[in-house]
Structure 1
Amino acid sequence: MRPSFVAGVAGVLVAASTYGQYASGARGWLLAMEIVLGVAGAAATPLLARRPVGTALGLAALAAVSPTVTPTATIGTLHVASFGPLPVAAGVTAAGVGAHAVRGLWLPVPGLPYGWWLVLVVACHAALLAAGALGQTRRALIASLCERAERAEAEQGRRVAEARAAERAALAREMHDVLAHRLSLLATYAGALEYRPDHPPERLATAAGVVRAGVHQALDELRQVITLLDDDPAGTDRPPPELADLPELVEESRASGTEIDLRDTRPAPAEVPGPTARTAYRVLQEALTNARKHAPGQPVRIALDGAPGTGLLIAVCNPLPDAPAEPVVPGAGRGLVGLTERVRLAGGRLDHPVTAAEFRLSASLPWPA
């Protein structure tokens, strides 16, 4: 039901009451004037949507001369209080109080003193102002909560996207570290089979067996890398390699024909903690892989030093060939980039300068006391 229709019906009822109470001596013209003003006030109600303040003040002025305009004047005051600024709403409310106070002077309510009339008028308009302000506050609060919910949802989506990107980057680094080392060994043995078919059958069979075993190991390591994304840790057959597995890594490289000089001057009883040990293993694995890819046949020197509380120091260097060698395994050139990020996340630092004569890789990792 539209407010203007309700206001019109209320105006007619007020006019009938006024007709019965105050117009006993001039019933015809007074009743007609009340009805006309009540209908005019109801017709002006839709203007509140476009010009709320002016319409509300006009209705308040009509309420000063006609009780039938009181319902529509009340709607105007409530509308301004609900959607307008508080100072403007307070001004319109004061205008409504003044209009009804003026009407009470020339058209008093029988049996009700003028003072009590003013109290009722002020209380009713104050209630209208408070209701409008409360409605504004409620709408503003709901809008603020909706905005905060949207921001929180967007922030959560951003965090999920960042977590996924970080997981993909970690998986890519792990796959590179694992497979590049294994495939470079396979390429070395496969190259020997291709370029030296005159080897004795026993040596060719041995090399072919190494290639076959290496393929199985590569597939096994690839399976372990993929299980990093699985929520069930039971799917991993063995723990990731650590620094304690360095002798096996060195023997694999020596078996492929790389001469390695390993010097480990760390204190014997001290053990490198798990995260640092895994990072150190990946550093040495990448260094040996790069040596086989870019400087095949050149000797590699590895030095390990450090102690708990001072940190772990890793140094790897190998001479460069006179002419650039074609890599035995094509690479994307991202191994050292990913390795640098891995070391940085572990709290260490990685440097890999290249001189005219040799390639050097040095890393420092934290080793808590």
Structure 2
Amino acid sequence: MSTISAGGRQQVFAPLPISRWGHTWRLLLVLAISAAAWVEAAIWQWQHLRAWFWADLGVGIASLVLAHWRRRFPFTVALVTNVATIGSFSSGGPATLTLFSLATRRRWREIVPITLVAMAAGLVSLRSAPGSQEDDLIVTGPALVAILGVIVAWGMYVGSRRELLGTLRERAETAESEQAARVAQARTSERTRIAREMHDVLAHRISTVTMHAGALTYREDLTAAQMRATAEVIQDNARQALVELREVLGLLREEPGDAAPERPQPDATDLDALIREAMTTGLRVSPTIQVDTSGVPPTTGRTAYRVVQEALTNVRKHATYTAVSIDVTGSPGEGLRVVVSNRLPIGQPAHDLPASGLGLIGLRERVELAGGRLDREITPQRDFVLSAWLPWPA
């Protein structure tokens, strides 16, 4: 395991798994180091003390096997293999590998004692080597210190590089996770926007169709001309609903060219047409528009249009026979205020639709996304008042 300090806390990175080639060249290097350290002593042992030869070989093989667990128990394995070099020259390769592996952890409280043990074991081993002289330590001693220094320094460099790669890998994974979260959030926002758009478009048309269809069902005193006119209104609104549904569904297409609506989205300049259309369907509307709708920003005007449209839709669904007043006031710098009020009906019409509540929820989200606020209240005079304030920059 590799560690790195970040912001006062320790981040731990698991070492990457070693490939088959990595195991191979490490094994070859260990065997080469052991052979170089043991070759002269092995000849002497075979000729003069064969029991030492076999013991040296057995301890070296055991150290090589023990080095396999150097990543799981780095300190213990490094200590055992380096102590084994006191009487086993063939353990030099495994001892070098375990010391190097320990140094990659970059923990001085582990590196310093094991390095001192390795130095002491190396000096004892050199002193007990066949044919060694006391004067030889003057040369081999500094050489041993230099070799151990190179092993530790190289191991710390490799450990530092592993920590750097681990940090970069963690950052890349974090960036991918954040990107996936942003994509999911964008998809959710887009679905919510499309659902809100479909509600704004279809609820207005379907409520008009439902109201007039209900009139045809329950009114028995209509003349042929009145029935024909009502049927024309139903036909026109049904056709318009299909057209607007096709425009909204175009947002779901994957091709960039098909994703844009075929007609410009409504804005404040379309409020007059929306109110006239509502009046032709039988609603009693008293509009008061005291602003220059052509100067309202597109986003603000589109939101104001949806506020009035949703209010008229709710009146048509739940309070068909009540009068509606629409007040649009404001100025640049002060904001745009839209107030729609109607008297609550006594009783419920026979063709009333169930209230879902999703329209006002979606409308509130739309207004808040535009930087405004939406309020609704019922006055003591039994008036339902829907008011919205929208930003209008100076």
CA drift of 1:51 comes to 5.8
2:19 alignment counterpart: none
Q: Give the TM-score normalised by the residue count of structure 1.
A: 0.86
CA drift of 1:104 comes to 4.1
2:10 alignment counterpart: none
The 5 A counterparts of 1:301-312 are 301-312=325-336
**C-alpha offsets along residues 248-287 of structure 1, whole Å, 9 cap, x if unaligned?**
1111111122111111222x48611100000000000111
2:6 alignment counterpart: none
2:314 alignment counterpart: 290
Query: Are the equivalent residues in 1 in contact too, given 2:59–2:84 (CA < 8 A)?
Result: no
Give the counterpart letter for 1:252 in structure 2. E
Distance 1:222 1:5, change over 3 A: closer
The one of 265, 268, 272 aligned to 1:240: 265
CA drift of 1:69 comes to 4.2
Secondary structure of 1:305's counterpart equals strand
**Which range moves more in the overlay, 175-184 or 69-78?**
69-78
Query: Are the equivalent residues in 1 in contact too, given 2:269–2:294 (CA < 8 A)?
Result: no
User: Residue 29 in 1 paired to residue 48 in 2?
Assistant: yes
Give the counterpart letter for 2:149 in structure 1. A
Tell me, in whole angstroms, the C-alpha distance in 2 between the residues paired with 1:87 and 1:183.
Answer: 77
User: Residue 99 in 1 paired to residue 121 in 2?
Assistant: yes
Query: Are the equivalent residues in 1 in contact too, given 2:211–2:317 (CA < 8 A)?
Result: no
Give the counterpart letter for 2:114 in structure 1. V
The 5 A counterparts of 1:107-186 are 107=129, 114-186=137-209
Tell me, in whole angstroms, the C-alpha distance in 2 between the residues paired with 1:257 and 1:6.
Answer: 94
**What's the % identity of the aligned pairs?**
37
Secondary structure of 2:266's counterpart equals coil
Tell me, in whole angstroms, the C-alpha distance in 2 between the residues paired with 1:194 and 1:333.
Answer: 26
Tell me, in whole angstroms, the C-alpha distance in 1 between the residues paired with 2:140 and 2:182.
Answer: 63
Query: Are the equivalent residues in 2 in contact too, given 1:317–1:359 (CA < 8 A)?
Result: yes
Give the counterpart letter for 2:65 in structure 1. P
Tell me, in whole angstroms, the C-alpha distance in 1 between the residues paired with 2:214 and 2:29.
Answer: 96
User: Residue 255 in 1 paired to residue 255 in 2?
Assistant: no
**Which range moves more in the overlay, 338-347 or 242-251?**
242-251
Query: Are the equivalent residues in 2 in contact too, given 1:90–1:129 (CA < 8 A)?
Result: no
Determine which structure has more spread, i.e. the larger CA radius of gyration: 1
**Which range moves more in the overlay, 185-194 or 139-148?**
139-148
Distance 1:60 1:195, change over 3 A: closer
**C-alpha offsets along residues 209-259 of structure 1, whole Å, 9 cap, x if unaligned?**
121111111101111111233432685331111111111111111112211
1:88 alignment counterpart: 110
CA drift of 1:60 comes to 3.7
Tell me, in whole angstroms, the C-alpha distance in 2 between the residues paired with 1:52 and 1:172.
Answer: 59
Distance 1:339 1:113, change over 3 A: same
**C-alpha offsets along residues 130-182 of structure 1, whole Å, 9 cap, x if unaligned?**
23223333333333333333322222222111111111111111111111111
Query: Are the equivalent residues in 1 in contact too, given 2:233–2:281 (CA < 8 A)?
Result: no
**C-alpha offsets along residues 75-98 of structure 1, whole Å, 9 cap, x if unaligned?**
443343346844222321222222
Tell me, in whole angstroms, the C-alpha distance in 2 between the residues paired with 1:245 and 1:351.
Answer: 23
Tell me, in whole angstroms, the C-alpha distance in 2 between the residues paired with 1:117 and 1:322.
Answer: 108
**Which range moves more in the overlay, 42-51 or 166-175?**
42-51
CA drift of 1:124 comes to 0.9
CA drift of 1:42 comes to 2.6
Query: Are the equivalent residues in 2 in contact too, given 1:227–1:236 (CA < 8 A)?
Result: yes
Secondary structure of 1:232's counterpart equals helix
User: Residue 73 in 1 paired to residue 73 in 2?
Assistant: no
Instruction: Identify unmatched segments of 5+ residues in structure 2.
Output: 1-23
Tell me, in whole angstroms, the C-alpha distance in 2 between the residues paired with 1:71 and 1:99.
Answer: 14
Tell me, in whole angstroms, the C-alpha distance in 1 between the residues paired with 2:25 and 2:249.
Answer: 66
Secondary structure of 1:260's counterpart equals strand
1:46 alignment counterpart: 65
Distance 1:287 1:198, change over 3 A: same
2:16 alignment counterpart: none
Secondary structure of 2:377's counterpart equals coil
Give the counterpart letter for 2:278 in structure 1. S
1:320 alignment counterpart: 344
The 5 A counterparts of 1:329-368 are 329-355=353-379, 357-368=382-393
Tell me, in whole angstroms, the C-alpha distance in 2 between the residues paired with 1:147 and 1:200.
Answer: 77
Query: Are the equivalent residues in 2 in contact too, given 1:270–1:307 (CA < 8 A)?
Result: no
Tell me, in whole angstroms, the C-alpha distance in 2 between the residues paired with 1:272 and 1:36.
Answer: 95
Q: Give the TM-score normalised by the residue count of structure 2.
A: 0.81
Distance 1:136 1:122, change over 3 A: same
User: Residue 212 in 1 paired to residue 218 in 2?
Assistant: no
Tell me, in whole angstroms, the C-alpha distance in 2 between the residues paired with 1:174 and 1:84.
Answer: 59
1:229 alignment counterpart: 252
Tell me, in whole angstroms, the C-alpha distance in 2 between the residues paired with 1:191 and 1:55.
Answer: 88
Query: Are the equivalent residues in 2 in contact too, given 1:59–1:69 (CA < 8 A)?
Result: yes
Tell me, in whole angstroms, the C-alpha distance in 2 between the residues paired with 1:140 and 1:153.
Answer: 20
**Which range moves more in the overlay, 187-196 or 305-314?**
187-196
1:193 alignment counterpart: 216
Tell me, in whole angstroms, the C-alpha distance in 2 between the residues paired with 1:27 and 1:155.
Answer: 65
